[in-house]
Amino acid sequence: MAKKPTVSVVMSVYNAELYVREAIESILQQTYADFEFLILDDGSTDKSLELVRSISDPRIRVFSSDKNMGIVHQVNRGISMAQGKYIARMDADDISLPERFAHEVAYLETHHRVGMVGTWVELIDTKGVSNNVVWRFQAPPEEIPVVLLFGNNFANPTVMIRTSALPEVVYKSEYTLSEDFELTTRISDSHGVANLQEVLLKYRVHGKSISHRKRELCRELVMRVLGGRLDRLGVVYTEDDLQFHNAICFEIVVVNESDLHRADVWFKRIYEANLISRKYDKVILFKALLGRWYTLCGLYSGSRLAQIRQVFNSSLFTSSAFTIKDYFRLFGILMKRLFRKKYAYSAPKK
């Protein structure tokens, strides 16, 4: 009997003739070679399938559909046929760096409680030229489940998932455009999740990217996922509360004193709900809420001094999780957060 591969790479392709060869070659050039490569053409009407079939490698298995079924259908199909201990995701327009699989496999082999690992990404344009932007997902593993209350913390094409950590229903079609975020939250409920602190993929941003065409729908679906996180925590909320939470997460609020007061009340409700449900470590959640509070104060329309005053107006400081030592650490954090130009906590989808 042939030995099963350690890694199964699953990639859906749809009208990606400009980029698919480079994406495939980046996988075949991995320094870690023990993998199978499942490529699923989703009814492409350009030369994508022809290009895929022109590449010869015994590790490649090609599947095609007569009609476009959507990425969720194709990736779930690929995963159902995968033989590997780990599932590596890949998009047909991105470029994996040669050490990606080696580093991800090494991490999962030595961290048995982790069900999924991702990496940082460097953004490139349609010509493959760097935009000089790197998405750095810096939250340590123990903090990521809390970070997921406010948005995704992974670049989906970078992830490698332990097959045994996958739920019976992998990607859900009703969450198409945000299916990766929804799956991540479910994996994080029962397994550790982590990001390697290094760039191991070049992530292409272009006019055909999903978020440019259907950004509003994507935000609505993300809001549904965030609502599920709040439900799990035991937060009672209205539709208006969820809209406000979503606005905070996407940083699309124009912050005035009324917004800050509302956010303060909202964050306290989240913190107090967790004291009852005990889903998260209270100190980790507290620090995550403070991080969001710092950001909102930094977006406040007042002066820098007014922003700093607003920070200390938060009722979070009456929490038992906040200590005198934290006050001394606060000023250093404030200077970094309030005086930088951009406030970015989670990367947008394509």
User: How far is 206 from 124, CA to CA, in rounded Å?
Assistant: 9
Asked whether the beta carbons of 197 and 118 are under 8 A apart, the reply is no
pLDDT score of 325: 67
Model pLDDT for residues 83-119, shown as the tens digit of each residue: 999 999 999 999 999 999 999 999 999 999 999 999 9
| DSSP string across 147-165 | HTTSS----GGG-EEEGGG
pLDDT-based confidence at residue 26 (cuts at 50, 70, 90):
very high
DSSP H or E stretch at residue 7: strand 7-13
CB 52 within 8 A of CB 81: no
pLDDT at residue 9 tops 80: yes
Lowest mean pLDDT among 236-250, 295-309, 310-324, 331-345: 331-345
pLDDT tens digits, one per residue of 198-242: 999 999 998 655 545 577 888 899 999 999 999 999 999 999 999
In the chain, DSSP finds a helix count (H) and a strand count (E) of 13, 9
In whole numbers, what is the pLDDT of the chain averaged over residues?
88
* Per-residue confidence (pLDDT) for residue 216, from 0 to 100: 80
Distance CA 23, CA 41 (A): 14
CATH 3.40.50.1000 fits 7-213, yes or no: no
Check whether 46 has a pLDDT greater than 90.
yes
Range from 158-172, 267-281, 330-344 carrying the lowest mean pLDDT: 330-344
pLDDT at 256: 80
Q: Where are the domains of the chain?
A: 7-213, 253-338
Other beta carbons within 10 angstroms of residue 24's beta carbon come to: 23
Q: State residue 331's pLDDT score.
A: 57
The pLDDT assigned to 77 comes to: 98
Dig out the tokens for 48 from the structure: 């994508």
Q: Is 256 helix (H, G, I), strand (E, B) or coil?
A: coil
Confidence category of residue 349, pLDDT binned at 50, 70, 90: very low
Q: Is the pLDDT of residue 50 over 60?
A: yes
Q: Is the pTM of this model over 0.85?
A: yes
φ/ψ of 310, rounded to 5, equals -65, -35
Closest CA to 347 of 73, 136, 71: 136
Instruction: Report pLDDT for 188.
Output: 96
Identify the burial level of 190 via C-beta atoms within 10 angstroms of its C-beta, where 0-12 means exposed, 13-18 middle and 19 or more buried: exposed
Whether residue 296 is predicted with pLDDT greater than 90 in this model: the reply is: no
Q: What is the mean pLDDT of residues 286-304?
A: 78
For residues 10 and 37, the answer to whether their CB atoms sit within 8 Å is no
Q: What is the DSSP letter of 136?
A: -
The kind and range of the H/E element at 269 are helix 257-277
Percent of the chain past pLDDT 90, that is, above it, reads 69
Nearest to 144 by CA among 40, 52, 229, 23: 229
